[in-house]
Amino acid sequence: MENSITTGYAPVNGLNMYYEIHGNGVMPLVLIHGGGSTIETTFSNLLPIFSSYNKVIAVELQAHGRTSDRDAPESFTQDADDVAALLRYLGVDKANFLGFSNGGSTVMQIAIRHADLPHKIIAISAAYKRDGFMPGFFDGLQNATLAHMPGFLKTAHLKVASEESFEVMFNKDRERMLTFVDWSDDDLRSIKADALIIGADHDVITAEHTVKMARLIPGARLAILPATHSSIIGEAGAITEDDKLYERTAEIVKEFLTT
């Protein structure tokens, strides 16, 4: 059972950054949501499991959910710097990190840019090169409009923020991916934290790309699950109540964190 929940905002690199702290423990687990999402969208099913045995810090990134925007584009490197600054604000000098989708790429950038901060990292459905995305991903994104945004993401956003901010977030997320530049293999080879790379066999990210990342990060562990992009994490609004694949993901994460 959760022992406590704290919410707040932190002044971070020109943002008013929203965070939540759940549960108790010495080494916190920092949760970083996917693109277009809020804490609730990505982690509503997993957060109660993680906080039952661990202290959890969940964040919302630039222009997402309750966090404000800045007059600058989104980037994975900036997100990594924002999360690192938030942890300094909270007095945390060491943590475990778990990120999903774009959040998984941010977690890897934290390990690359702030090597002293992570103890262990888990990247789920993440990518570091454009060819890691399923065929047609960028072509479809080129023509995407706000009307193509999944309804469950809009519903979740509007529970905590305005419709105007939802459009801002969509445009910045889209532009981030359209202008995404490949990272080098050496970027991943530089990661020193213990790493677990998780992917689904029917994902937005190819299984082959997930395997490649795990092979590049020294000593990384790998799991490919029989899941989809949404079911692997239990994404709220995108799965049915009977879909419990995320519980297997939670088991694998717990084993990695506690051994």
Q: Which residues in the chain land under pLDDT 50?
A: 1-2
In the prediction, which pLDDT does 72 show?
97
Does the pTM surpass 0.95? The reply is: yes
Structural domain containing residue 134: 5-258
Q: What is the CATH number of the domain that holds 162?
A: 3.40.50.1820
8 Å CB contact between 5 and 34: no
- Counted domains in the chain: 1
DSSP-based three-state secondary structure for 161: coil
In the prediction, which pLDDT does 2 show?
44
Taking the C-alpha atoms of residue 25 and residue 134, their distance in angstroms, rounded to an integer, is 38
Give residue-wise pLDDT tens across range 55-112: 999 999 999 999 999 999 999 999 999 999 999 999 999 999 999 999 999 999 999 9
**Based on C-alpha coordinates, what's the Rg of the chain?**
17
| DSSP line for 72-95 | S---HHHHHHHHHHHHHHTT---E
In the prediction, which pLDDT does 3 show?
61
Taking the C-alpha atoms of residue 134 and residue 228, their distance in angstroms, rounded to an integer, is 12
- Cβ atoms within 10 Å of 206's Cβ, excluding its own: 17
What is the phi/psi pair of residue 151, to 5°? -60, -35
- Cβ atoms within 10 Å of 189's Cβ, excluding its own: 11
**How many residues can be counted in the chain?**
259
Question: Which helix (H) or strand (E) segment is 202 a member of?
Answer: strand 194-202
